[in-house]
Amino acid sequence: MVTRQRTHWLGRESWRGNGLSSEDVSERVRGGLTNLVSDASSRSLWDILRANVLTLFNAIVAGSFVLLLALGQWQDALFGFAAVGNAVIGVVQEHRAKRSLDRLAVLNSPHARVLRDGAIQDIPTGEVVLDDVILLFAGDQVPADAAVYDARGLEIDESLLSGESNPVDKAPGSEVLAGSTVVGGQGRAQVIRVGDDSFAGKLTVAAKRFSLVHSEIRTGLNRVLRWITWGLIPVMAIVVNGEMQAQGGWDQALATGTWKTAAVGAVASVIAMVPLGLVLMASVAFALGGLRLARDKVLIQELAAVEGLARVDMLCLDKTGTLTEGKIIFDGAHGVGTTPALGWEEALGWLGADPNANATARCLAAVYKYDGGLRPASSVPFASSRKWSAVSFTEGSAPGSWVLGAPELVLEATTPANVPVLASAAALASSGLRALVLAHAVRPMAAGETEDATLPSALVPAALLTFRERIRPDAATTLAYFREQGVDLRVISGDDPRTVAAVARAVGLDSASGYDARELPEDPELMADVLQNHKVFGRVTPAQKKAMVAALRSRGHVVAMTGDGVNDALALKEADIGIAMGSAAAATKAVSRLVLLDSRFDRLPGVVAEGRRVIANIERVSMLFLAKTAYAVALSVVFGGLLWGFPFLPRQLSATDGLTIGIPAFFLALMPNARLYRPGFLKRSLAFAVPAGLIITAAVLALNAYAAITGGYGEDSVRTGSVMVLALVALWVLVVLSRPLNRWRLLIVIAMYAGLLLLLIVPAAADFFSLAWPPRPLLNAALLAALGGCAAIELVFRFRRRSV
């Protein structure tokens, strides 16, 4: 039936012209006026490699690694694997984000229907050229921006572009935008913008701009690494000079070859300052958090987004597709106080089954069945400009004219019988329902009334029909959760403010009336003021959505934005955390940090809980790693300044790092932790780590000072004593940071103490790590220094706990 109507309409004389000729098309192709969107990559692979590999930090680490290999000290070069792991994770993470952006496309229709040389042709969307005549039928996606020439009930769904859930009637002279969808009627339009100049093209180019999600943890770690990088060179100079002097001076060290021992000591001090495992552990914690969420149908496009949502204090919600399912459903039929004309249900069945019916009327087909018995004498398709459709029957069970449309436009307000009906319709509309009236006239519509789309006279209301958007059943409970967590909520939609406000009230968000975004000031500061004072906004354009998110961020908010339409893409990208529904447009999912694959809004509380677990655990383990960096820097400066040799070999530090930090940190990072997020991660971490590092340095220095004063101890014995002091005090740091101790944390701590004992007594391990059990006086001094260090750590921890 639809095919016959299309063929009949295409043969009408209203089709003017034959479209472009082959020569016209060739000329435009040569001029580059095609619909191809730029496929320029968001970021090259070389840029990603350079940012993650070719850094001063990596150069120092790689130089140390190569030096040890050249000296034959491969046992001391184990740190190289952690450095490689960090670089690989960084490259893979950014490359995944790049691939998502490169695949971004607003247009997903592979073909377009055009009129060329007087014939209809199906061509790839990219081959559409400027001035092409495109033919539009229900179900088509508009391939390029175009101006409508001719239309018959043409309705376009622009919800993915504008956020307006109601289809838009397109009359001759109006524009249709690339990426929108034809939901009713037919039309012909001439292309006026193609490729990157079209709406879809501009959106694609803007959305492809590369950016990483803001992560307080990643920012804090990068800041520490930057400080360490710039501090490495002067500290290295101090250490190298101290090592050479400890070998008898530069001349003697170079002459006798003992400079190699000095070089190994210098590398040990340098590598000890670098918290390689912390970056790796943070990435692993993010990745495992992402895997946990993947089991709940939540796709993490960028690992740090797990942390980001836990920091959010402002959640912006799109109405259509987020709070609602994006579908119009039939709500019910309401009486009008009089007996309706016979056949009204059959008339509704025909109106719902009409191929030219709009989305609202099509909802009727599920309730009022059309058996094909009624044959219309004439009909008028729905148009948004007049807001009604009509059909006339001269025979059958529903004779007369039937009009379905907006009550205030279909019924005469001056007719006394219509006044209560219009009042009822207004009351239904104020509750958030969409109200239409079915009216009946005994006389069928004349031919002139059909062609001019004139309402029949003497219309009598037969029934009030209400429609509504289906609200997601999980929306109210999810919003209640965020309110309880202190997260502010803003509903931002392209729909009528009153409709948006009604939906907001239905999900428990207080809003007497929505704010019309057409009155929103353009100045960012004034816009931010309005956003602070209002919660629900309607008639918001895509550009305004992005500006509103930016205005909220300018006030210090960490903003998350949910959406499913192409119109949401730029706002999602601007937000700290963009969250797309699984049903969202491909372009929207490409720029989002999180995708709810099953479109279940109630997944978000679980994402928040996972983010909090990751943040709290990474903060805990960061104190372990940063304490190591603090004592490494302090030991390097102190021992270098005293012209003493560095008290550890690189391999010995690798062993102590594994026992006191690496292995326990891995388990601690994965354990449950429901602590609420608090800003200031780096400040809190350093407030404990720096004093702890200085205490460990003092304990190791005390032992070495004792050995230097008393004399007679071998180099391996002193180093072993230093390893014991460092490991025992660092393990007490692990104990205090693992509190409150539960069964699993206690098991980890005991296992690490056992590992230290095995390291000292198992011959193969002791030989590999160059450990020799110290004589009793030195052993007693080591245990005493360790005990004093542990007591000092306990005092620092208790003072810090009281002060935060």
Residues assigned a catalytic role:
318
- Measured CA to CA, the distance from residue 424 to residue 418 in angstroms comes to 10
Pairing of strands 594-596, 298-300: antiparallel
Q: How far is CA 485 from the centre of its chain?
A: 20
Residue in 604, 525, 599, 75 with CA at minimum distance from that of residue 293: 604
DSSP annotation string for 729-752: HHHHHHHHHTPSP-HHHHHHHHHH
Q: Six-digit token pair at 72?
A: 């034959």
Could you tell me the CA-to-CA distances from 132 to 11, 200, 580, 787 in Å, in that order? 19, 17, 34, 85
Could you tell me the CA-to-CA distances from 277 to 229, 618, 627, 668 in Å, in that order? 16, 12, 13, 14
- Omega cis (within 30) before 381: no
Pairing of strands 314-317, 559-563: parallel
Could you tell me the CA-to-CA distances from 718 to 761, 769, 790 in Å, in that order? 16, 14, 20
**DSSP label of 601:** G
- Measured CA to CA, the distance from residue 297 to residue 301 in angstroms comes to 13
Q: Which helix (H) or strand (E) holds 181?
A: strand 181-193
Contact (Cβ atoms closer than 8 angstroms) between residue 638 and residue 697: yes
- Measured CA to CA, the distance from residue 120 to residue 126 in angstroms comes to 17
- Measured CA to CA, the distance from residue 351 to residue 344 in angstroms comes to 11
Give the CA angle between residues 444, 447, 453 to the nearest 5°. Answer: 90
Pairing of strands 168-169, 314-317: unpaired
Residue in 29, 16, 21 with CA at minimum distance from that of residue 129: 29
Q: Which residues contact 296 (CB under 8 A, 6 or more apart)?
A: 603, 606
Q: Six-digit token pair at 279?
A: 């970056």
Pairing of strands 559-563, 577-581: parallel
- Measured CA to CA, the distance from residue 32 to residue 675 in angstroms comes to 58
- Measured CA to CA, the distance from residue 125 to residue 618 in angstroms comes to 48
Contact (Cβ atoms closer than 8 angstroms) between residue 409 and residue 420: no
Q: How many CB atoms lie within 10 A of CB 708?
A: 12
Q: What is the number of helices (H) and of strands (E) in the chain?
A: 31, 21
**DSSP label of 34:** B
Helix (H, G, I), strand (E, B) or coil at 180: coil
Dihedral class, residue 556 (left if φ above 0, else alpha if ψ from -120 to 50, else beta)? left
Identify the bridge partners of residue 595 per DSSP, sorted by sequence position: 299, 580
Could you tell me the CA-to-CA distances from 603 to 190, 322, 599, 675 in Å, in that order? 44, 12, 9, 19
Q: Is 775 exposed, middle or buried (0-12, 13-18, 19+ CB in 10 A)?
A: middle
**DSSP label of 110:** -
Backbone angles phi, psi at 597, to 5 degrees: -60, -35
**Helical ranges in 198-258 per DSSP H:** 199-207, 216-246, 250-256
